Amino acid sequence: MSLLSYIIRRLLLMVLVLIGVSLLVFTVMMLLPPGQRVAAYVTNDRVSPAQMDAMIAKYGLNDPAPVQYFRWVRNLLHGEFGYSITASSPVIDGFVRFFPVTLGLVLFSAPLIILVGIFLGTLGAVRKDTPTDHFTRVFAIVGYSLPTFWLGLLLMMIFYGFAGIFPPGTVSNDVRNIIYGEGYHQYTHLLVLDGILNWRWQVVGDALYRMVLPTLNLVVINSALIMRLMRSSMLESLGQDYMMTARAKGADRKTLFRRHARRNAMLPVITVSGLTFAGLMGGMVITETIFDRKGIGWWMAQAALQLDVAAIMFNVLFLGTIYVVINLIVDLIYAYVDPRVRLS
């Protein structure tokens, strides 16, 4: 039961964090003149200056900041997030449209990033100073130092440009027709999952096909850090005294590496993996832009460029939540793996 109370306490703490985040975001937004902030309430393109002033008055955009803050929070709690000009729809509709695109790619690539990082890192440590080790180290350094956009463009040029395979975008036009056609239900808005639920394998295949390049891009760039960390942490635990004890009791190599070293070496990797996962949720601006996938990252970039206040506020709050929740999950995993950590 102490676990449950721990989780509840952490979730209550999350509310405090979100209040902090919202204050911060709100303050930044208040630096904009009311004429720009009113955009969150404008739902069509043709608005005269007089109408604008009327709206500013109506929504109280000239009121004192605290009044406006509480009004904004009250609206949030009522589920009114405002209108997003970049999505040309209410913010919540835009979120439902863009978020699944991001989530689909993250769910597909994050496990790969973590597994590749852990696997190559372990391999490098176990075969220290062999060609395998040197290869993984070079791979890590190259991956870590390559700019995301450069590798993305390169992949795009080679595969789509020259070979004509792995096109950008989330789905082909044919598939889009299926999705918006008769008898197709978008249960989750995740293309792969919906495809399976609707028994339309063409959707699943096409969605996966178009995720190959962005995933490759993300894996090369993001697994480097995990790989380096795993290697050094594995080497550290291989040098510990308890490894000597394990060898002295007659453990074979497999048991030594898997049971005794890797479990200890995983500890720092868990933390970084969680952060990587959270970072991907909101930070794939470049990858999404290059591969023409209209997800959260792409939307955020558009919103920032066009001062789409409502969209920015909502997404920042959303990312804050994601970070807090993922950190909580990381702490729970950590406590499970490392008995020295007490949840209290």
Judged by CB under 8 A, the residue of 74, 134, 258, 263 near another protein is: 263
CB of 4 to another protein, least distance (A): 22
Judged by CB under 8 A, the residue of 48, 248, 305, 344 near another protein is: 248
Element (H, E) at 89: strand 89-90
260 binds another protein (CB under 8 A): yes
Binding segment (CB under 8 A) for another protein, from list 30-38, 91-99, 203-211, 250-258: 250-258
CA distance 333 to 213: 31
CA–centroid distance for 145 within its chain = 20
Q: Which residues contact 324 (CB under 8 A, 6 or more apart)?
A: 13, 14, 17, 18
User: Among candidates 255, 238, 234, 207, which has minimal Cα distance to 104?
Assistant: 207
Q: Do the beta carbons of residue 171 and residue 165 sit within 8 Å?
A: no
CB of 64 to another protein, least distance (A): 54
- If the CB atoms of residues 202 and 245 are measured against another protein, the closer one turns out to be 245
CB of 199 to another protein, least distance (A): 30
Write each residue from 305 to 344 as x if it is in contact with another protein (CB under 8 A), else as -, in one continuous string.
--------------------------------xxxx----
DSSP state of 162: I
CB of 242 to another protein, least distance (A): 4
- Is residue 74 packed enough to be buried (19+ CB in 10 Å), middle (13-18) or exposed (0-12)? exposed
CB of 327 to another protein, least distance (A): 21
Q: Which residues bind another protein (CB under 8 A)?
A: 239-242, 244-253, 255, 259-260, 263-264, 337-340
